[in-house]
Chain A
Amino acid sequence: MEQTKSLKLVPEISDEKLKDLYKQMWLIRYFDEQVDQFFAKGMIHGTTHLAVGQEATAVGACALLSDEDKITSTHRGHGHSIAKGGRVDKMMAELFGRTTGYCKGKGGSMHIADLDKGNLGAMGIVGGGIPLAVGSALTAHMKKLEYVTVCFFGDGASNEGSFHEAVNMASIWDLPVVFFCENNQYGMSGNVKEMTNIENIAERAAAYGIPGVVIDGNNIIEVINATYEATERARRGEGPTLIEAKTYRWKGHSKSDAKKYRTREEEKDWRENRDPIKKFKEELIEAGIVTEEEAEKIKQEAKQDLDDAVQFAQDSPMPTLDDLLTDVYA
């Protein structure tokens, strides 16, 4: 474990696992870049929200979670799904509206769920997943189960009443939940600086009597460490933590976005100077965990997985009208 020390990791993580995390980051990037292209070509319909540039938050926060641990995800959820062990082929099939997709073609980009892997699903209602995560933590508490729930939500979502109600409840009941805010600076066009009057969303934790932590969300090591501490605290029965990870979405909010609310310079700065994948790669190389060539090979493996996923999706059957009323119970 000598190498991991130079990475400043708090928990111990094997080299193999670190390489896998690196691959996951590329999978997310390739997945969302591919989806972006498919949308542009009209090959996928509906809408989509891409997490390119935010790979470190999803992968870092889920790095040490088991399949028993739960997450709740958001409209920008492809990365969460991949990081929680989701299969990119079933995800892509879902976006293609196929029966082999995670939701049999009924949910699409915004609603990928994989209950077996602990992904309680992506919620298209902003803030909708936050109280739900509290409920998941309540189950763990009442049934004395070991699992923790990591609740992903955005800076924008922290202005919904659901956030405040949920965090307070989790706090008074000491529930094993981690509120993980991916502050990518904007909720659609709303700049977080204009939509809140505080410097950090994590400051809101004080109002509910729980720890609030601000981290660099583009530094996966920081994400892993902060989430590790929060989940350990939760598992000890000491209650929730609010983590705020500062990050940036490289793409527009959804498929149609002229991005008038921010500058191209700002985007360029984040892309060129704060790329989370590039940063992790440099650290892995510096720590002697991978060579440049090995890093490239891992990246190509991710690309191959993605290409296979696209093939799988395209070869999969469409639902028929007989499927319209399956799973309807009321």
Chain B
Amino acid sequence: MRELTYLEAVREAMSLEMRKNDDVFLMGEDIGVYGGAFGVTRGMIEEFGPERIRNTPISEAGIAGAAVGSALTGMRPIMELQFSDFITIALDQIVNQAAKLRYMYGGKGKVPMVVRTPSGSGTGAAAQHSQSLEAWVAHIPGLKVVQPSTAYDVKGLLKAAMDDDNPVIFYEHKLLYKTSSEVPEEEYSIPLGKADIKREGTDVTIVASAIMVHKALEAAAELEKEGISVEIVDPRTLVPLDTETIIQSVTKTGRLVVVHEAVKRGGFGGEIASMIAESEAFDYLDAPIKRLGGISAPIPYNPELEKAAVPQVPDIINAVKETLNK
């Protein structure tokens, strides 16, 4: 099968949908001839024109609100937020409007919009352009939250997000844009709320998200050399969360390591750990649950400090060994 990069998969998913459905359009800063800050929309304005690849002023609150309003009245907007850190400016519209309307109006109306946004550190862009804030939106009833880790998942999950009649926050990881995997040419949908086992194993379960899936895979390959068999579960969507797959895996292995790039304190890993603690898998645990996440500090600029601020492969290896008392 042909390979596509993660970035190309985002573009292809949107383009396929836009060719079929005139209601789908894209709004964002520099998404026109510039092609978006990371190049995701390159070539799209040439195909779809400036009406549907709608270059906006630098006005995140306005863009988000226009997405909510147009979604409520029959369009299916995709909004590109240039860096996920800027969601701070758009959050009123996303949290107080988009997430609330359908329920607050007693089931009337729908808000089919997708907020696509790159997150994560590792580019040397420092404290205001490197955060992983997905736990904020995952905390809000009324928002779905997607965090794909591969090009294949990107295409299928974005299709599901665009088909969804409710607001979806779709986190793309900057460092994954250039990674590639096999991606079918035709359209396909990966249901939101379906985790994926990225590697099967028997000794320890690692629940990892976004770029941490890849770091966990590296760690697992190392651990295998020492005879340790690791299972890696990629939840793919935080909301809805596929608790069943995670519970099953932990029931099988009896050990759980949760790893994400976002700051550990208040991070989504805490939700996964406590979900397991409340579940039938608790009785199967042979060791305390380990959580790995970013340090409680802003992301520093210096590259060595930046790396040390978020979990790396050796940290994952050590955490797995700790759960095995090794």
Closest to B126 in A: A108
B128 touches A110 (CB 8 A): yes
Known interface pairs A188-B34, A318-B304; 13 further A-B residue pairs with C-beta atoms within 8 A, sorted by A's residue number: A97-B302, A106-B126, A106-B302, A106-B305, A108-B301, A110-B128, A124-B125, A124-B127, A188-B37, A189-B34, A190-B30, A258-B34, A325-B297
Residues of B close to A80: CB separation below 8 A: none
Say yes or no: B127 contacts A196, CB within 8 Å. Answer: no
Contact with B along A233-267 (1 / 0, CB 8 A): 00000000000000000000000011011000000
Are B301 and A159 in contact, CB atoms less than 8 angstroms apart? no
Could you tell me the distance between the alpha carbons of A260 and B88 in the complex, rounded to whole angstroms?
30
* A188-B34, A261-B33 given; A107·B301 CB < 8 A: yes
| Cβ of B61 under 8 Å from chain A | yes
Partner of A159, one of B57, B305, B309: B57
* B127 neighbours in A (Cβ, 8 Å): 106-107, 111, 124
Residue of A nearest to B123 (CB): A46
List residues of chain A with CB within 8 A of the CB of B60.
Answer: 160
Cα A318 to Cα B34 with chains together (Å): 36
B288 contacts the other chain (CB 8 A):
no
A187 at the interface (CB under 8 A from B): yes
Min Cβ gap B39→A in Å is 9
Partner of B57, one of A196, A261, A321, A330: A196
Residue in B55, B62, B295, B296 whose CB lies within 8 Å of A161: B62
Cα A321 to Cα B300 in complex, Å, equals 11
Measured in the bound complex, the distance between the Cα atoms of B301 and A110 in whole Å is 10
Residues of B within 8 Å of A103, CB to CB, are 301
Contact A106 B301 (CB under 8 A): yes
Q: In whole angstroms, how far apart are the Cα atoms of A155 and B274 in the complex? A: 48
* CA distance in complex: A330, B58 (Å): 31
What are 5 A-to-B residue pairs whose CB atoms are below 8 Å? Answer: A105-B300, A187-B29, A187-B57, A189-B30, A324-B309
Tell which of A110, A127, A187, A257 touches B126, judged by Cβ atoms closer than 8 Å.
A110
Most buried by B among A106, A318, A319: A106
Nearest-neighbour CB distance to chain B for A25, whole angstroms, equals: 27
Cα distance A321–B61 when bound, in Å?
A: 38
Total B residues in contact with A, Cβ cutoff 8 Å: 36
* B113-151, CB < 8 A from A: 123-129
User: Once the chains are docked, how many angstroms separate the CA of A127 from the CA of B29?
Assistant: 14
CB of B74 within 8 Å of the partner chain? no
A195 adjacent to chain B (CB < 8 Å)? yes
* Interface membership of chain A positions 310-330, coded 1 if the CB is closer than 8 angstroms to chain B and 0 otherwise: 000000001101011100101
Chain A residues contacting B153 (CB-CB under 8 Å) are none
B33 touching A188, Cβ below 8 Å:
no
Say whether B34 contacts A105, CB under 8 Å. no
Given contacts A124-B129, A190-B29, A325-B295, contact A156 B34 (CB under 8 A): no
Which label, helix, strand, loop or mixed, suits the secondary structure of the B interface?
A: loop
Interface size on A, residues (CB 8 A): 43
Q: How far is the CB of B117 from chain A (nearest CB, A)?
A: 15
Within the complex, which residue of B58, B296, B309 is in contact with A126, where a contact is CB–CB below 8 Å? B58
Is B59 at the interface (CB under 8 A from chain A)? Answer: yes
Closest to A46 in B: B124
Inter-chain contact B297/A156, CB cutoff 8 Å? no
B85 neighbours in A (Cβ, 8 Å): 125
Q: Would A324 and B34 count as touching, CB distance under 8 A?
A: no
Q: Mark A149-174, 1 if CB is under 8 A from B, else 0.
A: 00000001101111000000000000
For B309, list chain A residues within 8 Å (CB).
324
Contact partner of A47 (CB less than 8 A), chosen from B58, B86, B125, B296, is: B125
Instruction: Name the contact of A321 in the complex, choosing from B33, B86, B129, B308 (C-beta under 8 A).
Output: B308
Q: How far is the CA of A125 from the CA of B126 in the complex (A)?
A: 12
Q: A324 with B57: in contact, given A124-B128, A189-B30 (CB under 8 Å)?
A: no
B293 in contact (CB, < 8 A): no
Of residues 291 to 320 in B, which have CB atoms within 8 Å of A's CB atoms? Answer: 295-298, 300-305, 308-309
Contact between B126 and A260, CB atoms less than 8 A apart? no
Question: Would B128 and A127 count as touching, CB distance under 8 A?
Answer: no
Cα of A261 to Cα of B55 in the assembled complex, Å: 12
Q: Does A45 contact B (CB under 8 A)?
A: yes
Question: Do residues A324 and B301 form an inter-chain contact, with CB atoms below 8 A?
Answer: no
- Distance in angstroms from A212 CB to nearest chain B CB is 19
Q: Which 8 A-B pairs rank lowest in CB-CB distance, beginning with the nearest? A: A46-B124, A108-B301, A189-B34, A159-B57, A97-B302, A124-B128, A45-B124, A105-B302
| Inter-chain contact A324/B300, CB cutoff 8 Å | yes
Residues of B within 8 A of A126 (CB): 58
Q: Is B89 an interface residue (CB 8 A)?
A: yes
Q: How many Å lie between the Cα of A318 and that of B304 in the bound state? A: 9
Which of chain B's residues have a CB closer than 8 A to the CB of A111?
126-128, 301
What CA separation (Å) do A194 and B33 show in the bound complex? Answer: 13
Bound CA span A328–B294, Å? 14
Q: Produce 1/0 per residue, B178-194, CB < 8 A to A.
A: 00000000000000000
